[in-house]
Amino acid sequence: MTDTPLPSPRTSFASDNYAGVHPEVLAAVVEANGGHDVAYGADSWTERLGEVMAGHFGPAATVWPVFNGTGANVVALQSLLPRWGAVICSDTAHINVDEGGAPERMAAIKLLPVPTPDGKLTPELIDREAWGWGFEHRAQPLVVSLTQTTELGTCYTPEEIAAITEHAHARGMRVHVDGARLANAAASLGLPLAAFTSEVGVDVLSLGGTKNGALGAEAVVVLDHDALVGGPDAIRYVRKLSMQLASKMRFISAQLLALHDGDLWLRSATHANAMATRLRGGLEAAAAAGRAPGLAFTQATEANAVFATLPRPAADAVREQFRFYDWDEATGEVRWMCSFDTTEADVDAFVEAVVAALAG
Whole-angstrom distance, CA of residue 151 vs CA of residue 98: 10
Query: What pLDDT was estimated at residue 300?
Result: 97
What share of the chain has pLDDT > 90, as a percent? 96
Query: What pLDDT was estimated at residue 279?
Result: 98
Whole-angstrom distance, CA of residue 185 vs CA of residue 304: 9
Average pLDDT (237-262) is: 98
Whole-angstrom distance, CA of residue 47 vs CA of residue 118: 38
Query: Which of 256, 310, 332, 203 lies closest to 66, judged by CA?
Result: 256
pLDDT digits (tens, 9 = 90+) for 111-122: 999 999 999 999
- Residue 31 three-state SS: helix
Determine contact, residues 149/273, Cβ cutoff 8 Å: no
Give the contacts of 101 (CB within 8 A, at least 6 positions apart). none
Query: Which of 248, 157, 143, 158 lies closest to 201, judged by CA?
Result: 158
Cα angle, residue 262 at apex, residues 257 and 264 outer, rounded to 5°: 85
Query: What pLDDT was estimated at residue 276?
Result: 98
Determine contact, residues 144/164, Cβ cutoff 8 Å: yes
Return mean pLDDT, the chain. Answer: 96
Indicate if the alpha-carbon torsion angle 113, 117, 122, 124 is positive or negative.
negative
Give the contacts of 319 (CB within 8 A, at least 6 positions apart). none
pLDDT digits (tens, 9 = 90+) for 18-50: 999 999 999 999 999 999 999 999 999 999 999
Domain with CATH 3.90.1150.10 in the chain: 265-359
**Can you spell out the DSSP letters for 215-244?**
SS-EEEEES-GGGSTT-TTHHHHHHHHTT-
Domain with CATH 3.40.640.10 in the chain: 23-262
Task: Compute the CA torsion angle 23, 190, 150, 123 (nearest 10 deg).
Answer: 150
Whole-angstrom distance, CA of residue 128 vs CA of residue 114: 7
Which pLDDT band, with edges at 50, 70 and 90, does 239 fall under?
very high
- The answer on pLDDT for 349 being more than 80 is yes
Query: Which of 243, 265, 268, 248 lies closest to 256, judged by CA?
Result: 265
Residue 253 has what DSSP assignment? H
pLDDT digits (tens, 9 = 90+) for 338-347: 999 999 999 9
What predicted TM-score, i.e. pTM, was given to this entire model? 0.95
Whole-angstrom distance, CA of residue 87 vs CA of residue 198: 20
- The answer on pLDDT for 249 being more than 70 is yes
- The answer on pLDDT for 3 being more than 80 is no
Indicate if the alpha-carbon torsion angle 49, 210, 242, 108 is positive or negative.
positive
- The answer on pLDDT for 5 being more than 60 is no
Whole-angstrom distance, CA of residue 71 vs CA of residue 196: 23
Whole-angstrom distance, CA of residue 303 vs CA of residue 185: 7
Which pLDDT band, with edges at 50, 70 and 90, does 11 fall under?
confident
Query: What pLDDT was estimated at residue 4?
Result: 52
Whole-angstrom distance, CA of residue 187 vs CA of residue 348: 22
Whole-angstrom distance, CA of residue 100 vs CA of residue 158: 30
Query: What pLDDT was estimated at residue 6?
Result: 47
Whole-angstrom distance, CA of residue 27 vs CA of residue 238: 31
CATH number of 23-262: 3.40.640.10
265-359: CATH class: alpha beta
pLDDT digits (tens, 9 = 90+) for 89-134: 999 999 999 999 999 999 999 999 999 999 999 999 999 999 999 9
Beta bridge partners of 85: 140
